[in-house]
A and B are shown apart, each in its own frame.
Chain A
Amino acid sequence: MGPEVNLRYETPFLSPYIFVAGVTLATLTRAGTAQPETDAPEPDRVETAPDEVEQLDSVLDVLFEDFDVVVTAGRRAQASHLTGVPVSVLDAEQIHESGVTALPLLLDRIPGVHVLQIDRNRFAVGVRGLHHEFSDRTLVLVDGRNAGSGLFGGVDFQRLPLFLEDLERVEVVRGPGGAVWGANAFNGVINMITKDPRDTQGVLLSTTVNEFGDVATQARWGDSRDDLAWRVSVGYDSHESSEDALNNDDFSSRDFARLRRVNAEGVYEIDPDSELRFGVAHSHTERGDFSFLGLQVGEDERIDYVRAFTSFERDLGGGRAVSLNLFTTIEDVNRPSMWRYGMVDTELNAQYETPIGEHHETIFGGSARFVQIDSDPYRSDMLLPDETYLEEWLGVFALDRWRATDRLQVEMQGRVDYYSGTSTDWSARLAGLYSLDDHDDRVIRVATAKAFRAPQLALREIETSRVPLPSPPFPPVTYGTELFRAGDLENEQIYSFEAGYFGRYEDGLTFRADAFYQIYQDMTGAVIMPDPFAAGRVLARLDNLGDAKSYGTELELAVEGERSRVGVWYAYHGFEYEMVTQMPNVRAFTPPEHSVGATGRIDIMERLSGSASYRYTGVTEADAVGTSSVPETHRLDLSLTWRTPDERLELALGVIDLFDDTALAVDAVGSPGGEFETPGRAFWLRLQAEF
């Protein structure tokens, strides 16, 4: 306890104001109140001006401000509620305590993200729907670097050499992000941000096993010497096939997987203003094949994936900074029912950040990407011809945030991309953010944006004839499935009109509401052609089918206390085709109309915490991709985590899909002809040591 002091203070900085207008506050606050009669003499009053009370209140406000400063939605750190596009974040704690070992199962905890599990290895992930296993309408990044395939644009999450324990957070941008990230940041962006090597020092050993015998392991070592810090993670995952996992003799399945991964990253501080980051990662995936366009060969898939990067950042002072980023992805892919190819995908991007005048923060940048794909169709019914393809992408962009007034910020973003496969196209975003108070606690956002999706090599070049039919009765060389090479495809376009509100209230309460109306043009899909033999053969060709529109809203409410945090959200998404084709098939699922989510975490005791996540997903129209519509699902995940007093050892257990409800969805969307039965409910146990 500090010493007691008895002081009569003068008013140091308020004195010039004290004798002015102070009566107002007392008069207003006492209006209508009869003051007591008293015999005591009325004291001389030195009253405080209302302005000064407001000032004291504002000081109090800033004392209890919860500064939220870590989100990258526009190639720079921004407060999450002051971005020109809605962003939601999964942080490391949520990722860790979930207990899931496949990233897509985490992503559906975010409003506006739609995830369908197709089998035990494959997922369809999309922001605001239009998701598909090969979806390229949602751009996926790792630390801001494109993780989409150079062949088909989408992401095979399983083959990414990433470890969930190495993730700092996952940011999801809802709405077109092409002005920042270029082609295919169409419906949204998912950016997986890894931890800084300086934050992962020491040794971590972790293994998770579930009741079906699936195992996920990771060993990580991080250390530093002088200005250099690094970490190396290695891991092995094994997924049993549905047949083995369920001990079911009624069917045979080939949805097993064996994954080996290694990931090394480092950061070197060249001088106080400059940093060099670098890393290399490799994954080797072996898994069962699946039926695609009527063909399942029965041979295992083997995929080797190498990803290397180096980036240089320099702070030039005065709010100016420059960064260079070079990364390469090398793939050796053998998927017997689809294709076999080798690919080298290299991208160089650079950006320069500078203030312009007093009120503008501006970034200029550009990127160049080169993709070489060598196709090796060792079977005649594979999808890609025996050719070497070379593709180039070039892009330039400018991003500006203008603080027009103390309360109004305007974000202007523009980007032009050249793609050798199609044409030059552009993206843009214009957003206005207006704060209703002095502390940006209540912010209104209005925005409009345009982005595009470029049909990549796979969409333009694939062709196949499979499932040979007997002759007679059919003429010689007749196939049950024939996919013809596409004609000249145009880029898909999306235009969006958005409005949103963010409010931060007392008691750690935040509320966010976003509404949107999106117009799609020239959507690419499959044109199903009539069978001249009327034998039910599948004859198709990809083409620009027509337009569509979508609209909806996402509402998020979150409360964070000292020992707990709870979030609930609701999303409504409407989608309408405006096409003249007989059956719109844009290779994607339309978003379910209604989805609801709730997540909670609580410190039950000092070293024991619990978490829960519930997600309701309404009926999803399969859009002629699967066999039927996907029924509604209720998924509840629970976990308990206990740590030793020194927090070096951790034991966690939980269950994914307690209601055992998601297997039905998998059954609905799986590839026709494939046999699998993904377990829904799965109890799991994790042991983790860190020292």
Chain B
Amino acid sequence: MLRPVCGNPMHGSSPRRVIGAVALTLSLMLGAGLRSEPEACDAEVVVVLSGRSDAIVQAGEGVVAGVPGDASVMTLEEFTRDCQIDPGRTYVGVGPSATVYLTESAPAGATIGACLVPDLRSITPGERVSLVGVHTTVDVRDQLDLLREAVPSARTIGVLHRSGSPVSRDWIGRLREDPDTPSVVLIDLDEAASVSEAIAELMDEDVDAVWTFPDPAVYDAASVRLLLISSLREKVPVFGFSDGFVRAGALVGVQVDPASQGEQLGALLQRPREEGVTLEPCRLEYALNLVVADRLGLRVPKDVREAASVVFD
């Protein structure tokens, strides 16, 4: 059974999120000045953004909405310019750059929160520094459970990867670790003449579905296009690693909601915890493309349709 799904980010905004957004906006406006307000460095929770991309900002808003007390938001550039890390406060890194900086700069006794880092396990804090984080990506097992629920006939799954890519190696390692993994056909792009050849080879293996993971060495606009076109031609559903992938033509896929992950981290920071690393899986939310289901001639079970965060139809 799928885990409960939190609110659809496409609809509505909670008051806390609105307040968080206002606070974030004001913070960024102040931060845009020649010098940021010194009070921003003294908030109970200081949220440090790796950049100003939509996802990063939304996650920052989520953290502000998720923590009860005084919180400030600034970019990494502003933080390094104006602030010093005080072990008595909590610092949250949003995105890889800010998180890496905070964990590597934190003195003993400091607490660092982290979200929107694709692989938090790659971040190792120093001695006596607490790292509290929410995984950005969903566990392989949960993804495969979702795939099996959406496409019950999926017995054999195909996977594209690059043996030379550390990201691919990590995901394939996790796939192999899962004892419930179905039969898997791996196609190595590094050994194929071209991406199109690799996809053709994958389809020739009579796989029931294709599972994907976010490795930029494997997936870009061109390879996604080729895979989705083949998927429709061969009637093989694709499990996408993002809602953008599902919008483009994958049948179903995980949805990464930055605001929701920020809120989850905010709540996690309030809980009592031990020193060390505390990591929590992100909530499973997913997108479903019923237009693609029709094209593939698939009937998606009702409970899967109803629990989807985003449905493209």
Q: List 15 A-B contacts (CB under 8 A).
A: A8-B276, A11-B122, A14-B122, A26-B104, A33-B80, A40-B87, A60-B55, A62-B214, A62-B219, A63-B136, A64-B244, A70-B248, A79-B221, A318-B196, A606-B11
Q: A29-B76, A68-B221 are in contact. Are A319 and B86 (CB under 8 A)?
A: no
In the bound complex, how far is the Cα of B192 from the Cα of A631, in angstroms? 60
CB-based contact B244/A66 at 8 Å: yes
Q: Give the contact stretch, choosing among B18-26, B146-154, B180-188, B222-230.
A: B222-230
With A47-B104, A67-B245 given, is the CB distance from A62 to B283 under 8 Å?
Answer: no
B100 partner residues in chain A, CB cutoff 8 A: 25, 47-48, 53
**Interface 0/1 of A26-48, CB less than 8 Å to B:** 10011111111010111111111
Interchain nearest-CB distance for B236 vs A (Å)? 9
**B105 touching A30, Cβ below 8 Å:** yes
Partner of A59, one of B86, B118, B169, B278: B118
Tell me if B299 is interfacial: C-beta within 8 Å of chain A. Answer: no
- List chain A residues, Cβ under 8 A from B220: 62, 65, 438-440
B241 and A63: CB pair below 8 A? yes
Residues of A within 8 A of B167 (CB): 13, 55, 59
**Which of A10, A38, A438 counts the most B-chain CB atoms under 10 A from its CB?**
A38
The answer to whether A358 has its CB under 8 Å from any CB of chain B is yes
CB of A232, distance to nearest CB on chain B (Å): 18
B1-38 Cβ-contact flags toward A at 8 Å (1 or 0): 00110000111000000000000000000000000000
**Chain B residues near A62 (CB-CB < 8 A):** 214-216, 219-220, 241-242
Distance between A47 CB and nearest chain B CB, rounded to angstroms = 5
Q: What 0/1 pattern do residues 273 to 287 of B give for CB contact below 8 A with A?
A: 110111111011000
**Known contacts A43-B128, A59-B216, A79-B225: A2-B85 contact under CB 8 Å:** no
Residues from chain A with a CB closer than 8 A to the CB of B214 are: 59, 62-63
Q: How near does chain A come to B288, taking the closest CB pair, in angstroms?
A: 16
Partner of B84, one of A12, A34, A69, A273: A34
Among residues of A, the one whose C-beta sits closest to the C-beta of B310 is A562
B104 pairs with A48, CB closer than 8 A = yes
Cβ of B127 and Cβ of A7 under 8 Å apart? no
Q: If the complex has contacts A44-B127, A59-B119, A64-B256, are A355 and B196 also in contact, measured as CB distance less than 8 A?
A: yes
User: A297 vs B166: C-alpha distance in the bound complex, in angstroms?
Assistant: 78
Contact B84 A438 (CB under 8 A): no
Q: Tell me the bound Cα distance from A25 to B117 in angstroms.
A: 17
Does B155 interact with chain A (Cβ within 8 Å)? no
Given contacts A2-B281, A56-B119, A199-B294, contact A439 B244 (CB under 8 A): no
- State A58–B97 Cα separation when bound (angstroms): 12
Q: Which residues of A contact B268 (CB under 8 A)?
A: 4
**Inter-chain contacts of B85 with A (CB < 8 A):** 36
In the assembled complex, the CB of B128 is this many whole angstroms from the nearest CB of chain A, namely: 6
Which A residues between 337 and 394 are near B, CB-CB below 8 angstroms?
Answer: 355, 358-359, 361
Asked whether B197 is an interface residue with its Cβ less than 8 Å from the other chain, the reply is yes
B95 touches A46 (CB 8 A): no
Q: When the two chains form their complex, are residues B221 and A43 in contact, meaning their CB atoms are under 8 A apart?
A: no
> Do the beta carbons of A55 and B95 come within 8 Å of each other?
no
Per-position 1/0 for A497-520, Cβ under 8 A of B = 000000000111000000000000
Tell me whether B123 is interfacial, beta carbon within 8 Å.
yes
Apart from A4-B271, A5-B278, A25-B100, 7 more pairs, CB < 8 Å: A32-B81, A44-B127, A62-B220, A63-B118, A65-B245, A318-B196, A318-B200
Q: Please state if A318 and B96 are interface contacts (CB–CB under 8 Å).
A: no
CB-nearest residue of chain A relative to B123? A48
B216-A439 in contact (CB<8A)? yes
* 6 residue pairs, one from A and one from B, having the closest CB atoms: A43-B126, A319-B196, A56-B96, A43-B127, A67-B248, A9-B121
Chain B residues lying within 8 Å of A59, measured Cβ to Cβ, are 118-119, 167, 214-216
Report the separation of the CA atoms of residues A68 and B119 in the bound assembly, to the nearest whole angstrom. Answer: 26
CB contacts (< 8 Å) of B50 on chain A: these are 57
Query: Given contacts A12-B170, A26-B105, A45-B126, are A65 and B221 in contact (CB under 8 A)?
Result: yes
B234 at the interface (CB under 8 A from A): yes
User: Chain A residues near B62 (CB, 8 Å)?
Assistant: none
Residues of A close to B276: CB separation below 8 A: 6, 8
Separation of A42 and B106 alpha carbons in the complex (Å): 9
Contact A67–B247 (Cβ < 8 Å)? yes
Which B30-53 residues have a C-beta within 8 angstroms of A?
50, 52-53
B274→A6 contact, CB < 8 A: yes
The verdict on A534 contacting chain B, using a C-beta distance below 8 Å, is: no
Q: How far is the CB of A201 from chain B (nearest CB, A)?
A: 7
Measured between beta carbons, the chain A residues less than 8 angstroms from B242 are 62-65
State the Cβ distance, B71 to closest chain A Cβ, in Å. 21
Beta-carbon nearest neighbor of A69 in chain B:
B225
A315 on the B face (CB < 8 A): yes
A60 x B221 contact (CB < 8 A): no
Chain A residue with the shortest CB-CB distance to B217: A58
Does B307 reach chain A (CB closer than 8 Å)?
no
Q: In the bound complex, what is the Cα–Cα distance between A63 and B214 (angstroms)?
A: 6
**Which B residue's beta carbon lies closest to that of A438?**
B216
CB pair A36 B101 closer than 8 Å? no
Interface residues of B in 132-165 (CB under 8 A from A): 136-137
Contact call A69/B249, Cβ cutoff below 8 A: yes
- Distance of A58 Cα from B197 Cα, bound (Å): 25
User: How far, in whole Å, are A466 and B105 apart by their CA atoms in the complex?
Assistant: 91
